[in-house]
Amino acid sequence: MKKTHPIRELMNEEGLTSLSVSHDWRTGRVCWRAGYEWDGSMPWSAYQKTFTFESCLAESPRFYGHEAVLEMFRARGIEPVREKIEELLKAGRHQGIDFYRESSLDITFMNNMHANILGIKNGRHAIRAGGIRRHPLSDPELEVIVDGLNLARAMSFKNAAAEIPFGGCKCTVHSEEIPLTDLARLGFLAYCLDRSRFFTGPDMGFLPELSDVFHDHFTDNITGGKKGPLGPTGTPTAYGVYLAIKAAAEFRYGDAHLRGKKVLVQGLGAVGFPLTELLIKKERCSLMVSDVDETVVKRLLDAFPEADITVVSPEAVLDTPAEIFAPCAMGGIISEAEIPRLQYDIIFGSANNVLAAHSQEEEIALAKRLAARGILYQVEWVHNIAGVMAGYEEYTRGKEADRKRLYAHIERVCGEGVLRNLKEAGRLGMTPTEYAYRKIESRIYPDLTPSPEMVR
């Protein structure tokens, strides 16, 4: 029988609280480690009151080296899982994954680390930045790992494109829903966050109020709360995507105005909803929307009863013609198999990892197939970065964070910068995705010899 949670089971059976795998993309070396570092009776709600992330938390701690961990995988017949994780790390040139497990709470924290080169000398506690996302326990563990690694890789490029001095990572939490009153579980997450040395913001599965609770009780290594100086990051992200869509329209049609255009927005969440508000208030376009949650669709229709809005069922999105498609929900929706059926001129949205790819080479190949269909597409980390900018503004300036300065930054990078990227890619005869990667990757992989796929 195929195991759907092999890492969880291994850590439970071996009594492990930590498991990590490190990868050096320069040499290809991989190293596994594990440990028992805290006792099951830990009062996580007291984190930062009676102990910190540097405290010794186990009466009898134990640690295991590389060969001992490999034997744990062999003994359970799950070596293919280890091999798959290592394969993913190598394909995406990731630095590794830290797994932290609290079995008494049935929660696993995964710190997916892509790169630290931009943040290693930034002089702050956090050297990486990336969101915190929750997956329910019904999601197979390997899917959670793949999602986290893909998002971490995108974060490295996103942070570089946003011009902030942090490497890229993504935290995925594998657990059932966590109430904001559950200070035991939230304290555990805050401990893992501080130990992992990155700053974060709430993503899917967590509300913006998570940031406020963390600030009140545990840590400042999180931004985007409702009580914060800039509020949730979805609104500035939507503004950046809106500017990018207008830049794409100017490049494709010679006119940034969207009047008369059909714009299909998939997902009316933290970014998709404010994006539709901008499109309705500022553009005279024919808006089409889709979301699995019918209540949020109704909320939009009730808010704008006079607007030209058509509702599209989630199953019909990729078969619905539109000039502009803005995916703002889950990623991985466009694989090679879907490309022939797409009927769009432009694909620009906020969803991370829109293309079903595990490496930049795979993304570039799929982007070229879209271009061959006449579809203007740009990898999303070039333009869905305003939330990162907002997080950086709040993380580095605290209560002095300034909205005017933030929005000027967004307009320069997501508006003017996107148009420059499109024009320069066109001048060089390559897709905007390929050009964006080639422009940024030397900052993230300074010693990398370009692969054949990256050379024209």
Which residues are designated catalytic? 170
DSSP 3-state percent helix, strand, coil across the chain (nearest 5): 45, 15, 40
Instruction: Give the distance, in angstroms, between the CA of residue 80 and the centroid of all CA atoms in the same chain.
Output: 26
CA angle 146, 196, 22 (to 5 degrees): 55
d(CA 164, CA 175) in angstroms, rounded, equals 31
13 contact partners, CB below 8 Å, separation of at least 6 = 76
- Count Cβ atoms below 10 Å from residue 53 Cβ, excluding itself: 16
Cβ atoms of 130 and 155 closer than 8 Å: yes
What does each C-alpha distance from 252 to 12, 72, 381, 435, 445 come to in angstroms? 54, 55, 20, 17, 32
- Tokens read off for 24: 């050096």
334's torsion region: left (phi>0), alpha (psi -120 to 50) or beta?
beta
Give the separation between CA 360 and CA 364, rounded to whole angstroms: 6
**How many other C-beta atoms are found inside a 10 Å radius of the C-beta of residue 411?**
15
Q: Name the pairing type of β-strands 62-64 and 128-129.
A: unpaired
Any idea which residue has 């709600």 for tokens? 45
